């Protein structure tokens, strides 16, 4: 169990950034420039947490996790910790979670839907991190 990284911890964040940069070249990310803050409600321990991801010209440039206010982002996605952890384990698609009301989006919905395939690629990489939820 010691080789599992705690979800959203600093070590998990470092591994996420390393893997996203190594496995998702700009062309796989459609050369997009965007950012998103996932806001996690009902987290273990009771504190609200966030996951922030930023892409510039298709390159993942920043991944941050923490508590409190997340960095400003083009998209803000709000949901329960359990829903986000299921998405990160590839048990639930982000687009399905959004369309069924399990996640709430603040930002341009039309652009978000165009970026759904990019989000799926990010989540696929994250799902391969050995993680303790």
DSSP letter (8 states) at residue 43 = -
Full pLDDT tens readout for the chain, 133 residues: 468 999 999 999 999 999 999 999 999 999 999 999 999 999 998 999 999 999 999 999 999 999 999 999 999 999 999 999 999 888 998 889 988 999 999 999 888 888 888 888 999 999 999 999 9
**Domain chopping of the chain, boundaries:** 5-128
Closest listed residue to residue 51, CA positions, set 72, 37, 62, 68: 37
pLDDT of residue 2: 61
Task: Write down the pTM of the prediction.
Answer: 0.93
What is the third-level CATH fold of 5-128? Nonspecific Lipid-transfer Protein; Chain A (3.30.1050)
Question: What distance separates the 2 farthest-apart alpha carbons in the chain?
Answer: 42
β-pair type (34-41, 75-80): parallel
């Amino acid at each position: 169990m010691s080789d599992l990284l705690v979800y959203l911890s600093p070590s998990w964040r470092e591994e996420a950034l390393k893997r996203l940069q190594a496995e998702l070249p700009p062309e796989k990310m459609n050369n997009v420039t965007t950012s998103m803050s996932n806001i996690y409600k009902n987290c273990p321990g009771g504190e609200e947490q966030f996951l922030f991801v930023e892409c510039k010209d298709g390159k993942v440039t920043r991944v941050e996790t923490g508590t409190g206010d997340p960095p400003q982002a083009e998209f803000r996605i709000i949901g329960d910790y359990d829903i986000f952890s299921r998405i990160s384990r590839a048990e639930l698609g982000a687009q399905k979670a959004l369309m069924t009301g399990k996640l709430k989006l603040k930002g341009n919905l039309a652009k978000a839907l165009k970026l759904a395939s990019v989000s799926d690629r990010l989540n696929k990489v994250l799902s391969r991190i050995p993680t303790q939820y």
